[in-house]
Amino acid sequence: MRRFICLLVFCFAGCSAVFAQQDSTASRADTPRRYVRVPRPMTVLDSVAHALALEEKFVSDSLSMVYILKPDSTRTSLFVDSILKSNAYTGNHYLDIAAHANTKPSIKGYGHLRPSRDPWVIAIIVVLILFIPVLNIYSSKDMNNVFLSFYNKRSVAQAGKEDSPINAWTFIGLFLLFGFTFGIFLYLLTTGYYKVYYPISGFQLFGTLSLVIIGLFAVKFLMLKFLGFVFDINKLVGDYIKALSLTYFNITFVFLPVALCFSLIADKFFPYLLAITLLLTIVIFVWQYLRSSVSIIANFQFHKFYLFTYLCALEICPILILVKALNIGFK
């Protein structure tokens, strides 16, 4: 009996402990735990990663707008509206097309830019052309001798005498005409045909070229005078300078109409005009300069090496330097 009572008490105590343990477990499961997370400051790597993620999202959204989503049909396009307004047919239900069937349709296109030259170029050429009759009025005999020197050998021989048929004022006028004519010719050749650009342009470039040419040839004549004084051949050098100046003055009357043609014709005709100009210049140079030079040199015997040195130093070399300075490339 005592054993039975002890066993019953032990069983009751065990059941009470199990029930209390289940009740406490249930109460803990029913009550959720709340964890408070303290925010930490964002580091540099986190900000970079965040920025890259935002950029990726922006690019993906932009691509989806361009390639995936269809455009908004309610949005108006000003370009399309302008094309339709200018080219759309607004006639009488195409019935008026038959009335104009025999007429030639108008062809519309974009066209092309027509190159134009400066108006002052024509004005300069006109002034140079009018300068010739002015010289002829005040010194008709001198101008007549200049023209006749190309055809008549007696005029060339007369130019070598002391009483030269060309006085000082006519020489200065023709020399200035030669310088400005050659300057406008080089201006049109470099800027119009070879398309060479310089730090200066326009009338300033023309004036610079003309003054440089006048200065170079004036220095050349002075050097010849100095050589004649040094070697005591003033008479020979004087005859040579007169023959040289007559050649330059006759070439001037070729370059002046060529410059006028350069200012009026299209660029595609420039090569043909240059070929004709070169041919006429060679003819004048051979016919007058060489003819006069040979007759002058024949009266004075000296070593041919000196002649070769002179031609290279004062005739050929300045032309090559001028071409190189102007940056002209022969095509």
Tell me: the pLDDT tens digits for 112-169? 666 677 889 999 999 999 999 999 998 888 888 887 776 666 555 554 454 455 788 8
Asked whether residue 153 is assigned to any structural domain, the reply reads: yes
d(CA 206, CA 124): 10
pTM above 0.85, yes or no: no
Asked whether residue 101 is assigned to any structural domain, the reply reads: no
The domain tally of the chain equals: 1
Q: Domain of residue 294: give its range.
A: 136-326
Question: Sign of dihedral through CA atoms 143, 146, 152, 155?
Answer: positive
d(CA 242, CA 221): 10
Asked whether residue 225 is assigned to any structural domain, the reply reads: yes
Asked whether residue 38 is assigned to any structural domain, the reply reads: no
- As a dihedral over the C-alpha atoms of residue 146, residue 150, residue 152, residue 158, rounded to 10 degrees, the angle is 50
Asked whether residue 20 is assigned to any structural domain, the reply reads: no
The one-letter amino acid at 113: L
Highest mean pLDDT among 95-99, 111-115, 181-185: 181-185
- Give the pLDDT mean for 279-290: 81
Asked whether residue 108 is assigned to any structural domain, the reply reads: no
